């Protein structure tokens, strides 16, 4: 088993057609379907090289921002001279090193380390962490509502849900409009249930756009009436107030899915113990890697609750495949005539685009050693915007 002697971090950018920014360039994160428009999406890649000629790699999906890239740069040198046997020590050290920040740069390094371990062992990551299943039931997770004719009305959402159902999806999650209009959101919730009946499991994620607790309660009652599977991050506390969401849980029957914006096992445990959620969120990119995600999953299991994997990617599939107490894989984000903005860097057929689902409503688990995917490094380097290398 060789030690890590070189680390490469490569940031890159690529255009995605059919997407735009709601409200113009100032609304940096309000990504919506926008026919005829295009945005440049930033992601980054991690590659770890060992003294015995092996390598581990990972290309980010939704965590790949400039801020996360800078955090990864700050902590990556700590892996030099270490081996895959040091995963738990490294997890603890990297977590402490980013204690004053949001930990978002940690996950890609941990995932690349697990990819390396799988290649050393000749096993997939899901086998290393304990494979439970190979087929993953998926839901289509929409972009936010727009004003451009794609997701601009309750009927537009219903039409898109029907299109997803025709592809094989049996679950569908709404992200509503960015203006946080509670009455419009409640109307959307009810209209969609009337449109699809009991043929699809439905979820709502306002993504913290509802302005007040009262708004969250109002829309939550619509979720109750329409028998939604979960209600996620409803209002402008940004999804971090356990007290507020305990109060919301006391007034609603729809399960709350929280902690997407709460990092790591300890604060998620506090949120759960405080009664702030029914279900836990975990994300290998956001929650400090495969290592962090599995800790959260086992925390949820100890309390007898489910953990739902946030967003999509090869590491996300391997983690979900190793879990009993989880329900759906999130194909995020998708919309009519708008691609998922994940990087087009796979040479092996792997996909998180809308059409990736099979007729049985599931997505497959990548096979092969490590993450089981092959990256197009020529594409990454052709679109490179920054690169840094660390070596012994």
At 190-217, the pLDDT tens digits run: 999 999 999 999 999 999 999 999 999 9
Rounded Cα gap, residues 379 and 248, in angstroms: 47
Rounded Cα gap, residues 161 and 336, in angstroms: 10
Domain ranges of the chain: 4-122+371-391, 128-364
Cβ proximity of 21 and 28 under 8 Å = yes
- Whole-model pTM over 0.95: yes
Which of 3.40.190.10, 3.20.20.120, 2.30.110.10, 3.40.640.10 would CATH assign to domain 128-364?
3.20.20.120
Q: Is the confidence at residue 30, as pLDDT, over 90? A: no
Cβ proximity of 172 and 143 under 8 Å = no
Query: In this structure, what token pair is assigned to residue 1?
Result: 């088993």
Q: Superfamily assignment of 4-122+371-391 in CATH?
A: Enolase-like, N-terminal domain (3.30.390.10)
At 259-272, the pLDDT tens digits run: 999 999 999 999 99
Mean pLDDT over 56-80 rounds to: 97
Strand partners, 44: 11
Res. 287 pLDDT band, cuts 50 70 90 = very high
Domains 4-122+371-391 and 128-364 share a fold: no
Query: In this structure, what token pair is assigned to residue 5?
Result: 């002697």
Share of the chain above pLDDT 70, in %: 98
Q: Is the confidence at residue 28, as pLDDT, over 70? A: no
Mean pLDDT over 109-116 rounds to: 98
Q: What is the pLDDT of residue 163?
A: 98
Cβ contacts of 69 within 8 Å, gap of 6 or more: 9, 11, 44, 105, 386
Cβ contacts of 272 within 8 Å, gap of 6 or more: 259, 280, 299, 300, 303, 305
Residue 215 exposed, middle or buried by CB count within 10 Å (0-12, 13-18, 19+):
buried
At 215-261, the pLDDT tens digits run: 999 999 999 999 999 999 999 999 999 999 999 999 999 999 999 99
Mean pLDDT over 103-110 rounds to: 98
């Amino acid at each position: 088993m060789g030690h890590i002697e070189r680390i490469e971090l490569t940031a890159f950018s690529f255009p995605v057609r059919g997407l735009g920014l709601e409200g113009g360039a100032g609304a940096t994160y309000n990504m919506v379907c926008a026919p005829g428009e295009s945005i440049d999406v930033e992601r980054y890649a991690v590659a770890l090289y060992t003294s015995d000629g092996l390598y581990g790699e990972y290309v980010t999906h939704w965590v790949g921002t400039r801020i996360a890239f800078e955090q990864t740069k700050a902590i990556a040198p700590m892996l030099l001279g270490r081996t895959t046997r040091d995963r738990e020590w490294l997890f603890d050290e990297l977590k402490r090193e980013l204690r004053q920040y949001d930990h978002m740069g940690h996950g890609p390094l941990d995932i690349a380390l697990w990819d390396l371990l799988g290649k050393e062992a000749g096993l997939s990551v899901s086998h290393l962490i304990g494979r439970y299943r190979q087929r993953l039931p998926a839901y289509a997770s929409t972009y936010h509502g727009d004003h451009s004719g794609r997701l601009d009305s309750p009927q537009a959402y219903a039409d898109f849900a029907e299109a997803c159902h025709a592809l094989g999806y049996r679950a569908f999650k709404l992200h509503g409009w960015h203006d946080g209009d509670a009455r419009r959101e409640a109307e959307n919730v009810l209209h969609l249930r009337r449109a699809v009946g009991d043929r699809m499991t439905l979820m709502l994620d306002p993504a913290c756009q509802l302005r007040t607790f009262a708004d969250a309660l109002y829309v939550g009652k619509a979720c109750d009436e329409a028998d939604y599977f979960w209600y996620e991050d409803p209002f402008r506390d940004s999804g971090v107030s356990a007290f507020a969401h305990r109060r919301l849980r006391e007034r609603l029957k729809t399960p709350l899915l929280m902690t997407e914006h709460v990092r790591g096992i300890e604060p998620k445990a506090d949120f759960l113990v405080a009664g702030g959620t029914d279900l836990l969120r975990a994300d290998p990119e956001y929650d400090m890697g495969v290592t962090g995600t599995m800790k959260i999953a086992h925390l949820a299991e100890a309390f007898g609750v489910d953990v739902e994997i946030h967003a999509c990617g090869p590491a996300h599939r391997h983690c979900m495949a190793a879990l009993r107490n989880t329900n759906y894989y999130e194909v995020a984000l998708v919309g009519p005539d708008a691609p998922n903005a994940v990087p087009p860097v796979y040479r092996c057929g792997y996909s998180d685009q809308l059409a990736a689902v099979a007729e049985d409503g599931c997505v497959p688990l990548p096979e092969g050693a490590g993450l089981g995917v092959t990256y197009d490094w020529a594409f990454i380097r052709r679109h490179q915007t920054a690169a840094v290398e660390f070596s012994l």
